[in-house]
């Protein structure tokens, strides 16, 4: 990374025409390295709780989870930390909880697993609530939501966890709860979801996989897997517009947010925050600091008129080249 970019990292992620874009990080295991970025970010947009679960020999107990979550929350307080409930299944198996299915990405994944095992979700929610005592920066995110009932069921469990803890003398406030937008069905139920959720976070990795019917990990169809497919971008633009109309903040935590040209598009569409892996931050920040918000909006209009992923890629590369 050039010295110029490094120097910029302490400057705000503000466009030349004065638009501030909230940049957040995705975390999993290494809290220490990322915590040093605290002054350069707006918080943790996605803490993948399954990551620490992958290196243990059994489900970590409530105390152990409380320690893990406390570490995250404390490291970034007072900034918000969005903790996603366990998102196993698909390509993420726990050695001590094998799931064998013919179509794992269409199977028992994310909230489908944890609602079938409320004892697992309850321990996790209790640990999150315990960990946030006195900090108040916890937000909870539900992965792989397909139906509003799943949100209702998860909220009921959350309320039960709060009551249980209260009976044990631990006073916990209900954190903000968000829904991941990554199953295409949710695009058509945003209003119903907004009645239940405080915010949305788009998982462009899975949303792309499911909109295009292309396995995100299959090298044979890797060329077809393109987050810049016009259908994906059109869905994204619509999501940003609808969330604004519904008065719900919406962020992006999939890989598209960490791609500089992608980040400009998402900013132009009106997303409230972009959450990415820490190594992507410098280039995304640099792009935002160089490109006026008005130009990003123009980029969105131009790009949404294109009909093929190839044309989109070409256009983004050309425009982005001009700005560098
Ligand atoms: C996504 O699907 O875009 C996402 C952020 O979640 P994950 O990559 O963990 O499935
Ligand atoms: Mg996902």
Taking only the tens place, the pLDDT of each residue in 312-323 is 999 999 999 898
Closest CA to 70 of 127, 122, 141, 120: 127
What separation in Å is there between the alpha carbon of 292 and the centre of ligand 2? 30
Average pLDDT estimate for 41-64? 96
Tell me: pLDDT of 3 over 90: no
Tell me: pLDDT of 74 over 70: yes
What separation in Å is there between the alpha carbon of 303 and the centre of ligand 2? 25
> CA distances (Å), 324 to each of 5, 64, 76, 284, in order?
12, 46, 32, 12
Closest CA to 79 of 45, 29, 123: 45
Residues, CB within 5 angstroms of ligand 2 (ion): 182, 203, 206
Tell me: pLDDT of 5 over 90: no
What separation in Å is there between the alpha carbon of 36 and the centre of ligand 2? 26
Taking only the tens place, the pLDDT of each residue in 215-266 is 999 999 999 999 999 999 999 999 999 999 999 999 999 999 999 999 999 9
Average pLDDT estimate for 153-181? 97
Cα–Cα dist 109/103, whole Å: 11
Atom of ligand 1 nearest to the CA of 209: 2
What separation in Å is there between the alpha carbon of 33 and the centre of ligand 1? 21
For ligand 1, residues with CB inside 6 Å are 46, 48, 87, 182, 203-206, 253-254
> CA distances (Å), 26 to each of 94, 96, 162, 223, 227, in order?
20, 25, 26, 25, 18
Do 209 and 105 meet the contact criterion of CB atoms below 8 Å apart?
yes
ipTM confidence score:
0.99
Atom of ligand 1 nearest to the CA of 46: 5
Question: What pLDDT sits at residue 32?
Answer: 67
Tell me: pLDDT of 34 over 70: yes
Q: Whose CA is nearest to atom 1 of ligand 1?
A: 203
Atom of ligand 1 nearest to the CA of 203: 3
What separation in Å is there between the alpha carbon of 143 and the centre of ligand 2? 7
- Average pLDDT over the chain, rounded to whole? 96
Q: Whose CA is nearest to atom 4 of ligand 1?
A: 203
Cα–Cα dist 230/211, whole Å: 11
Token pair 């994906």 is at which residue? Answer: 232
> CA distances (Å), 9 to each of 3, 25, 36, 216, in order?
10, 14, 12, 31
Atom of ligand 1 nearest to the CA of 204: 3
Question: What pLDDT sits at residue 1?
Answer: 60
What separation in Å is there between the alpha carbon of 206 and the centre of ligand 2? 5
251: tokens are 């962020």
> CA distances (Å), 175 to each of 125, 136, 303, in order?
10, 8, 37
What separation in Å is there between the alpha carbon of 181 and the centre of ligand 2? 9
Question: What pLDDT sits at residue 275?
Answer: 98
62: tokens are 């409530």
Atom of ligand 1 nearest to the CA of 26: 5
pLDDT band at 178 (very low <50, low <70, confident <90, very high): very high
Average pLDDT estimate for 79-100? 95
Cα–Cα dist 316/291, whole Å: 13
Average pLDDT estimate for 256-282? 97
Out of 205, 239, 257, give the residue to mutate to test ligand 1, the one with the largest number of ligand atoms within 8 Å of its CB.
205
pTM, two decimal places = 0.97
Taking only the tens place, the pLDDT of each residue in 8-28 is 888 999 999 999 999 999 999
Question: What pLDDT sits at residue 306?
Answer: 98
Cα–Cα dist 98/268, whole Å: 42
């Amino acid at each position: 990374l050039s010295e110029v970019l490094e120097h910029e990292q302490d400057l705000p992620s503000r466009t030349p025409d004065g638009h501030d874009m909230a940049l957040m990080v995705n975390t999993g295991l290494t809290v220490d390295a990322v915590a040093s970025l605290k002054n350069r970010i707006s918080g943790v947009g996605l803490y993948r709780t399954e990551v620490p679960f992958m290196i243990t020999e059994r489900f970590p107990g409530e105390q152990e989870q409380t320690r893990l979550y406390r570490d995250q929350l404390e490291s970034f307080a007072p900034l918000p930390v969005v903790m996603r409930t366990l998102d196993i299944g698909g390509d993420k198996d726990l050695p001590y909880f094998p799931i064998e299915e013919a179509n794992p990405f269409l199977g028992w994944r994310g909230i489908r697993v944890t609602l079938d095992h409320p004892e697992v979700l309850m321990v996790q929610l209790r640990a999150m609530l315990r960990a946030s005592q006195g900090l108040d920066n916890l937000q909870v995110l539900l992965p792989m939501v397909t139906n509003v009932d799943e949100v209702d069921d998860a909220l009921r469990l959350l309320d039960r966890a709060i009551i249980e803890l209260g009976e044990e003398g631990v006073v916990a406030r209900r954190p903000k709860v968000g829904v991941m937008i990554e199953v295409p069905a949710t695009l058509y139920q945003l209003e119903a979801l907004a009645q239940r959720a405080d915010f949305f976070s788009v998982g462009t990795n899975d949303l792309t996989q499911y909109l295009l019917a292309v396995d995100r990990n299959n090298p044979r169809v890797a060329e077809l897997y393109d987050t810049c497919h016009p259908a994906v971008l059109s869905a994204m633009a619509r999501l940003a517009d609808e969330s604004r109309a519904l008065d719900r903040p919406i962020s992006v935590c999939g890989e598209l947010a960490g791609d500089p040209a992608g980040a400009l598009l998402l900013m132009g569409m009106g997303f409230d925050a972009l959450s990415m892996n820490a190594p992507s931050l410098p280039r995304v920040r640099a792009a935002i600091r160089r490109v006026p918000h008005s130009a990003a909006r123009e980029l969105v209009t131009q790009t949404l008129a294109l009909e093929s992923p190839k044309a989109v890629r070409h256009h983004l590369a050309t425009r982005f080249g001009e700005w560098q």
